[in-house]
A and B are shown apart, each in its own frame.
Chain A
């Protein structure tokens, strides 16, 4: 059967929206949040084939699923996040928990377990994290000892513990990473297996509608056929193979949470009359608290969508792009939610309005599936190699490409994006020559600057190609305004932050560096920034009426 086309994706998203509208009120979310309780009946309905059947997207068609493409899965993640990030996390845990099977499972294993997940609407949990093994899975302690019979491996006994497992207390099927004699390996463990217990549910800051619990394994016996891929030692590769993909999904969470918060605040501001007019008509309010956030979220959407389309071609990989998408979208979403509270003042600070909960919820997106700091490191490492391999030309080449785009499309900010790329190339080269990457802090910050540069570049390129990002409510002209804003601010950040890092260590003349990163040219491109931002504000007011 054909892949889902755009109309089908939109039908699915509409169904999800309508379901939420009918079944999940803010009052309900507020109660569950206060009770710190996962709404299992809602999750079951979302999995019900006749109602929604969301989880079928992650299951290959041959096993009764819908073989969802990356684009529809990220868009569903975004929509789920707009509904509630706790519920989104519960659904996502099933996506994530099924991934080792998807990547490494044998045909028989996929047939057995996917059919079970598809037809019996099973909740799945992904058991990787341990007390000493979070982002650093190499420090894994949970063991899987072979059980042999007549010289043949018939099973494994798993011993150890896991922590912070989403769906940990409520899942039916667990994929568990454990250290087998041949190395880290994924195992499937079913709820109720003797020796397998779940801890109490955590009392968390946010996403309180998702169940998070530790897992304990005391010589839990699983048959050898539950070793994913029937081969020991493939676990870390299987985990890493999908990072690009899974991080893109969390990026969509940041996007969804952030935009829900900004839109709520903006709709409120349209009717909040202060000093003779609605808040939304006031430039200071919009340019501080609303417009920059929505702009960053649209840039994030363009980047996420671009990465998703790449992943559909490449299938796996794109770890750096996944990290960039997640870092940019989740940090932007988190800050957007923070300022949504500010925008709504006292109302925003009460639980009666949604933004207070969104702010608590969205913070997790900067933590799980790789903290922002781990992502900065990942991005830095990935692109540092490119910088070295290309002898400093990696970003120069991209700058040239952007300059060429600017000649054809002078209205997308490609000129500023190019200046940012050139400044970045220079900063990376300076760091290399002076061996500044011995400072871990600098490597983190470079990861952040790389992220800024690449998102701005992709946004400008997408606009130049005339692409209105799927799911965006804006038109191409508004996206171009946003792209110009994004490119200008990102170039400025790269140049000024880069200088601060290099000058902070010392040994370089400030005046020379200033010239090398071409801050003057970057600043000269600022003309028109406020006009563009005002233009974006006007468009947002038009779309998000009270």
Chain B
């Protein structure tokens, strides 16, 4: 069985602040991390590997520094890595990114299961995974909290409004994974980090993919961002105290004063 896990290097959003004047992210001194949803998806893939002996390939698109997250994935137990790194890929929105990743998957050729994080914490779009499934013309199941496979089928626990759905699907399929709220990512031991240096990482350029170059990067991106701004803070509320009658009276008073009622 062959599993591909799509991963992304993102700024640790817990440490990113937004410049209120310009609306842009203050990236200075902010460390980069493996997107936590992807980290979770990777751990699920490695759990399947532990049970079935599946081969796990990690795939990422980004600048050369993104090798760091591939190495983390290899240290955690993935077998090989592929980095899509080319100036042509730069500026891609989710559509162009999904198109590029899908072509890398086609080049990898042998796969049964593709796992993606639900979304990256820097963009929060949750679009890339589903769009990849479209480009590959394979089924997809989104927002899964767990996934298991025997090599023939997958069984997933999908998060839905107010509960879960248990679903089965034939392979190949693309699953997007949602990490639980209390998720604590696993990190490799020093020995595993050391040994990951010996595992293969391929770096593919645009020319390595059988893709339409007009559909890559900024050129292939239909998204236009008109403005980025931090949401305005909410004004502090007022607490009404007293007995039920008193509070109701005060409340009515306020509603009248603010012209909500007459």
Contacts and interface: CB of A to CB of B under 8 A. Distances in A.
Interface of A: 1-2, 4-5, 7-8, 10-12, 14-15, 18-19, 22, 48-54, 56-57, 66, 473-475, 539, 542-545
Contact of A15 (B26, B71, B188): B188
Given A7-B67, A473-B29, A543-B28, A50 B189 contact: yes
A4 B29 contact: no
Contacts of B15: 545
A5 B197 CA distance: 8
Nearest to B191: A53
A364 to B, nearest CB: 26
Contacts of A2: 197-198
A15 B197 contact: no
B197 A8 contact: yes
B196 A542 contact: no
B228 interface: no
B191 A11 contact: no
24 contacts: A1-B194, A1-B195, A2-B198, A5-B197, A7-B67, A7-B68, A7-B71, A11-B68, A11-B188, A11-B196, A12-B193, A12-B194, A15-B187, A15-B188, A18-B187, A50-B189, A52-B190, A54-B190, A56-B191, A66-B191, A66-B194, A544-B29, A545-B15, A545-B17
A545 B75 CA distance: 31
B185 interface: yes
B239 interface: no
B104 interface: no
B184 interface: yes
Contact of B72 (A11, A56, A57, A475): A11
A473 B189 CA distance: 24
Contact of A4 (B28, B67, B194): B194
Interface string B113-144: 00000000000000000000000000000000
A19 B193 CA distance: 15
Contact of B196 (A8, A543, A544): A8
Nearest to A61: B194
Given A4-B197, A7-B67, A18-B185, A12 B190 contact: yes
Contacts of A49: 189, 191
B17 to A, nearest CB: 5
B68 A10 contact: yes
B63 to A, nearest CB: 14
Nearest to B74: A11
B71 A475 contact: no
Interface string B194-216: 11111000000000000000000
Given A22-B184, A545-B17, A11 B29 contact: no
Contact of A19 (B68, B71, B72, B187): B187
B21 to A, nearest CB: 13
B26 A542 contact: yes
B9 to A, nearest CB: 12
Given A4-B194, A19-B187, A53-B191, 19 more contacts: A1-B194, A1-B195, A4-B193, A7-B68, A7-B71, A8-B193, A8-B194, A8-B197, A11-B75, A12-B190, A14-B72, A14-B187, A15-B193, A18-B187, A22-B184, A53-B189, A473-B29, A542-B29, A543-B29
Nearest to A18: B187
A473 B196 CA distance: 25
B190 A57 contact: yes
Contacts of B188: 11, 15
A435 B201 CA distance: 64
Q: Which of B15, B28, B72, B187 has the most CB of A within 10 A?
A: B187
Contacts of B190: 12, 15, 52-54, 56-57, 66
